[in-house]
Amino acid sequence: MMSPLFLSILVCSVLGLVLAIPSYTCIVMGNLDIIREKGKLSPTDVIFLAKGIVNILLQCVMSVQGMIFVLCLRVCYVTEVRGFMNTSGYFLAYYSFWLTFWLSAHYCTTITNLSYGFFIWLKRIVSNFLSHLLFLTALGTFIVSVPGFWAVYTENIQSSENSTGASLPRFHFSLFYFVPVTFLGVILPFCLSLLCLVLTSSFLLRHVWRVKNNDSGSTRPNLQAHVTALRTIFFLLLIFTFFCMSHMGHFLQNFSLLIVYWDLQLLSPSVEAAVIFQASNKLRRIFLRRFWTRRWRNTET
C-alpha cells in the first residue's frame, strides 16, 4: 500500500496540474485577446504572458517528476530522464525568477521616477526593448542550465521513515557548477527584485505622506495602482522564497520534511497564478467575461 507521504506527492502533483494549467491558460488566452483588441501588449502584460507559458511548462515538469518518483521510482535513476527533468526544471525555474525581476524593475522604474542615470537607462530599455531582454534572459538561463545535465548524479539511500522499504534517489551536485549557477539563477534576481521592492515601497510611503499633506488630492487616483504593484512584487518574492526553501529540502536527510517541501514546491505555480490575476484588472475582466458567457450558454442549453 502506498505510504501517506508518497500519496501526498501524487495528490499535489495532480492538484498542481488541475489548478495551474487552467489558470495559466486563461492568462495566456487573455493576453492573446488583448493583442487582438489593441494590437500590442503593455510591458506588464508581456511579462505576464511569458510567466504563463513558462509556469505551464514548469508545472508540467514538476508534476511529471513527482508522478515518476511515486509510481516508477526506478526511472529516477535513468541518466537521460533524470538529466532532462533536472535541466528543464532548473531552466524554467531560473527563467521564472528573472521574469519576476523584470516585472519588479518595470514597476519600480514606472512608479518611482528616480532621476539616477542607471534607472533612467533601465526604464528606457524595459519600455522599448522588453521582448529582446526576455529573449536574451531565456537564452542566458538555458546556457547556464544545460551543464546541469552532467553535474547531477544520484545515490541510493534507505530511509527509515519510508514505509515502503524502497531505496530513494538522493541527488548530488557538483559545487563548481552549483555555486555560480545558484548565484546567477537565484540569488542575483532575488536581490535585484528585493532592491526594486524596497525602492518602490519607500516611494509609496513618501507618496502617501504627500497625499495626506496635499489638500488638492490630485495624486489620489494613482495610489491604488501603486499599492497593487507593491503587493504584487511582495507576493511574488514571497513565493520566490518559499520555492527556493522547498527546493533546498532536497538536500535534507529528513524524508518527511523533504516531502513537505516538495509538496509546497508543486503548488507554488498555482499560487503565483492567483497573484497575477490580482495584479491585472484586464485579465480578471477577460476571465470573468469568458466564465460568465460560458456559464450563460450552458444554462441556455
pLDDT at 20: 92
Q: Which residues pair with 171 in a beta bridge?
A: 154
Confidence label for 288 from pLDDT (cuts 50, 70 and 90): confident
pLDDT at 152: 62
Higher pLDDT, 146 or 54: 54
Tens digit of each residue's pLDDT (9 = 90 or more) over 67-112: 988 888 777 777 777 778 888 988 999 999 999 999 999 988 888 8
- ∠ Cα 67 73 79 (to 5°): 100
Confidence label for 257 from pLDDT (cuts 50, 70 and 90): confident
pLDDT at 160: 47
CB 237, CB 193: distance < 8 Å: yes
Count of structural domains, the chain = 1
Instruction: Output the nine-digit C-alpha cell for 161.
Output: 521513515
Record the pTM. 0.84
Quote the percentage of the chain above a pLDDT of 90.
Answer: 26
Q: Is 296's pLDDT higher than 60?
A: no
pLDDT at 170: 57
Q: Is 225's pLDDT higher than 70?
A: yes
Q: Tell me what the mean pLDDT of segment 203-217 comes to.
A: 70
- Entry field: residues in the chain: 301
How far apart CA 70 and CA 76 sit, in angstroms, is: 10
Classify strands 152-157 and 168-173 as parallel, antiparallel or unpaired: antiparallel
Q: Is 60's pLDDT higher than 90?
A: yes
How far apart CA 263 and CA 51 sit, in angstroms, is: 21
Q: Is 213's pLDDT higher than 90?
A: no
Q: What is the mean pLDDT of the chain?
A: 80
Confidence label for 11 from pLDDT (cuts 50, 70 and 90): very high
Q: Which residue from 270, 244, 249, 268 is spatially nearest to 5, judged by alpha carbons? A: 249
Quote the percentage of the chain above a pLDDT of 70.
Answer: 78
The boundaries of the domain holding residue 210 are: 4-300
The enclosing domain of 90 has a CATH number of 1.20.1070.10
How far apart CA 99 and CA 104 sit, in angstroms, is: 8
Tens digit of each residue's pLDDT (9 = 90 or more) over 156-192: 554 444 444 445 555 556 667 777 888 888 889 999 9
